[in-house]
Amino acid sequence: MNINSVLRFLKSSANMRGLAGPILIVMILAMMVLPLPPILLDVLFTFNIAIAVMVLLISMNTTKALDFLSFPTILLMTTLLRLSLNVASTRVVLLEGHTGPDAAGKVIESFGHFLVGGNYAVGIVVFAILVVINFMVITKGAGRIAEVGARFTLDAMPGKQMAIDADLNAGLIGEDVARKRRAEISQEADFYGAMDGASKFVRGDAIAGILILFINLIGGLIVGVLQHDMDIASAAKVYTLLAIGDGLVAQIPALVISTAAGVVVSRVATDENIGEQMLGQLFRQPQVIMLTAAIIGMMGLIPGMPHFAFLLLASAMVWLAYHLSQKTEKVAEQEQAVAEQTPVITEPSDASWEDVAQVDVLGLEVGYRLIALVDKAQDGDLLRRIKGIRKKFTQDIGFLPPSVHIRDNLDLRPNGYRITLKGVEVGSGEAYPHQFLAINPGSVTGELIGTPTRDPAFGLPAVWIDAALREQAQIMGYTVVDPGTVVATHLSNLISTRSAELLGRQEVQQLLDHLGKVAPKLVEDLVPKTLPLGTVQKVLQNLLDEGMHIRDMRTIVETLADNASRSQDPHQLTALVRVALGPAIVQQYYPAEQELQVIGMDKELEHILMQAMQASQNGIGIEPGLADAVLRESRVAVEKQEQLGLPTVMLVPAQLRDLLARFLKRSVPNLRVISHDEVPDFKTIRVTALVGGAA
């Protein structure tokens, strides 16, 4: 590497930022070894104070702990800097202290003279008080908060991760947002763990400050008396003031840094910084301020009290309370003026076709207490969540579902809601604003105080709890969700399971128009030349009805176009489309497995079912006794697959697939039936359960 390469490397800002840490560490360690002149000590002590003030101001202006992730490292670096300066100043004090109080620089002299009046007894007391405050109060409290915060954060991680997964599955957030939230949870745990360890450095720094003070005192007396022939009184005065100045100039920045640490770990994350939180919550209620002013005023009237101070403060608080109450009344009047609107009286018009109300395909009706969830003016985010659900449904299933029409319904319970499909109720539940639903996933460690219920989406046991119990519930292993998420997840689950009913002819035509933009000839050859739109709709509904997506519209349309001349029956066309989509179907149930572990069917039972189909006039009849046996053994096989943790997929001949899929759909809803023709040639099959083996 030549000199030009080195210069280019050093000119790079990114490289220089990367070198800042190692260079700073080397400089700090060098200060412990190399002698420093007093002028450089003044600059470094001033820099130490400036860094402490900067850290405090940054900690006051953060809105959450993760905004200052580098704080534990900064805490360690500033502690090392103070200790290095203590070592460097001790060297100068012992070598040059006999020359006068400015031997170690003007900063130490100023702290020794002006802050404690040149009285070393006062200096020792002030130094001891600062050390006690820093060591016993601030640092110990901040360390304890960090320790508890780290433990609670680690305990709550599983519940928070499950909540993120629930939001992701419901379509409320995307994969990028979920990944970011998971990273924040991990960073939060790392931050509090690092703060717990870094606080030990600050406590050690306080102990080192005490020891360094006594070392400077004793060492200064020995050096002054034995080496420089000073009398004991003069040596005690000079070296004591120097030692106290050195201790104070290090302990004051340490106290500021410790305060910043306490601020960072003790704050509750909101959208406001510390100053906004304190002012907004302390001085928000005029009645409290007025009552405080009355108490302070009465105390000021007691004989012997400093009347001026008490009455002055009481008067100021009365003025502040009056000012806040006037401001509150003005805001309330403005809101009332906006809310009051004069109703417009119009002449009733004659009936027309416009009066015919269309039934909403998808509807959400809410009780009056849930209106806030769908009202943007009241920070309701359910509308945003529903938009996310529709977007995720479109990406996963392959078509755009109808819009969800939301309205209030006074006939419902105040906290109730109802989901309708084409005007018919398909789901209902209750949600409680300002509370949270703690869902038991099956591995919780305790019980919660609240209103027992069941998760409306999946039927899991749950409890409605107050907001104060949220963190406790997460630590116990509950999945905790807010009321908006409860309603959104229920809606997402319903539209996913009823996607076939949402696919109308209008949606099918929009799908074909969308495909026609990239493959116009393909669409022209199919509809309406070869197949009517209704047949295409029925094929797509058959696919959706069995839990498949229709994202691969090109393959579906090509298969229909190739086979439409041979058959117009939607069920036969669906079977042909399923064969074409076989690799995607198998991948949906077995994402990465080369070997498919499936439920098989006894050959003799397959033969009996095929004979029954041929004997039936419509091809779908099964003798009741045989149907009961197939149903019973299918349930047993599904239970066995679930116990093994395997997909509940049954593999049957192509002639029986449609018959068994429709027959078992209602009785065994979590069973999926595929045919041999749908399995790709490169996959291997292993039967782990058998239907009809004991028949």
- CATH superfamily ID and name for 358-500: FHIPEP family, domain 1 (3.40.30.60)
What percent of the chain lies above the pLDDT cut of 90?
28
For residue 540, the one-letter residue type is: L
pLDDT at 1: 47
pLDDT at 695: 38
DSSP 205-229: HHHHHHHHHHHHHHHHHHIIIIIS-
pLDDT at 119: 67
Query: In this structure, are residues 435 and 535 in contact, taking their beta carbons and an 8 Å threshold?
Result: no
Q: Which positions ≥6 away from 121 have C-beta within 8 Å?
A: none
| Residue ranges of the chain with per-residue pLDDT less than 50 | 1, 6, 9-10, 14, 342, 345, 695
Cα–Cα distance measured from residue 71 to residue 21, given in angstroms and rounded to the nearest whole number: 14
* CA count, 13 A, side-chain hemisphere, 533: 12
pLDDT at 556: 94
Give residue 573's Cα distance to chain centre.
46
Tokens of 82: 């103070």
Distances (CA, A) of 455 to 171, 389, 461, 463: 17, 18, 6, 9
Distances (CA, A) of 670 to 541, 542, 590, 673: 18, 16, 15, 10
pLDDT at 276: 66
Q: Which positions ≥6 away from 271 have C-beta within 8 Å?
A: 63
The total of other beta-carbon atoms located within 10 Å of residue 132's CB is 12
Q: pLDDT tens, 455-493?
A: 999 889 999 999 889 989 998 999 999 999 999 999 999
Q: Which of 196, 191, 205, 198 is nearest to 255 (CA)?
A: 205
Tokens of 692: 């009809």
Cα–Cα distance measured from residue 279 to residue 196, given in angstroms and rounded to the nearest whole number: 29
DSSP 424-465: EEEEEEE--TTEEEEE--S--SS--SSEEEE-TTT--EEEEE
| pTM (global) more than 0.75 | no
Cα–Cα distance measured from residue 128 to residue 113, given in angstroms and rounded to the nearest whole number: 17
Asked if the 591-695 domain carries CATH number 3.40.50.12790, the reply is yes
CATH class of the structural domain 503-580: mainly alpha
pLDDT at 8: 57
